[in-house]
Amino acid sequence: MLYTYRNILFYLLLLVLLRNGLYAQTTLCSITYKDGKGIDKTRMIGLHEDLLLVADTGKFKIINIEKIARIKFDKGTYMLTGAIAGFVTGFLGGLVYYDAFGAKKKWLLIKDPSIGVSLFLTIPCAILGSIIGLAFQNVDDYDLSKMQSLVKSREIKYIIKDHPYYQ
């Protein structure tokens, strides 16, 4: 039979979800079930009552939210944040170093050596800050295992709105 119950349910759910917007999906996430299995690198598209539509490697899946225990978004590392913090720290540290020790010799080509000392310390501090930023992961982890169905569906709606792919 061409139209089975599953196909009809899938097309009706897809129609309801596409009505809300074609590009309403999240960034890549990992969904873990209560039994320990799960789906890696998927996008959540929408939620209708207790059913969640996800796009997994070119195909769509419908998941009952009762099975979901955890949703995790991996956003990379804090490398850029660490580099910016190191840059600012090195620049200000160079200014403080020059003012504290007051080296009056003009060994740089620019007129004011304090800016030269600051720039001299800025690049190593920015590199050190980016290396430290690489050590820390930027992960949003939502534990949904102990929530009831109604609260879990509200939380998943919030998660979908909080992590949009197209803004």
Is there a single domain that holds both residue 20 and residue 57?
yes
Residue 94 lies in a domain: yes
Q: Is residue 144 pLDDT above 80, yes or no?
A: yes
**Number of structural domains found in the chain:** 2
Q: Tell me: the pLDDT tens digits for 37-50?
A: 988 888 888 888 88
pLDDT of residue 19: 55
Pair (65, 145) in one structural domain: yes
Q: Which residues of 83-97 are buried (b: 16+ CB within 10 A; e: fewer)?
A: bebbbebbbebbeeb
- Give the domain range for residue 130: 79-134
109 band by pLDDT with thresholds 50, 70 and 90: very low
**40: in domain:** yes
d(CA 113, CA 106): 6
Answer whether 0.75 is exceeded by the pTM. Answer: no
Q: Is residue 62 part of a domain?
A: yes
3-state helix vs strand vs coil in the chain, percent to 5: 45, 30, 25
Q: Rounded to whole angstroms, what are the CA distances from 149 to 132, 146, 152?
A: 40, 10, 5
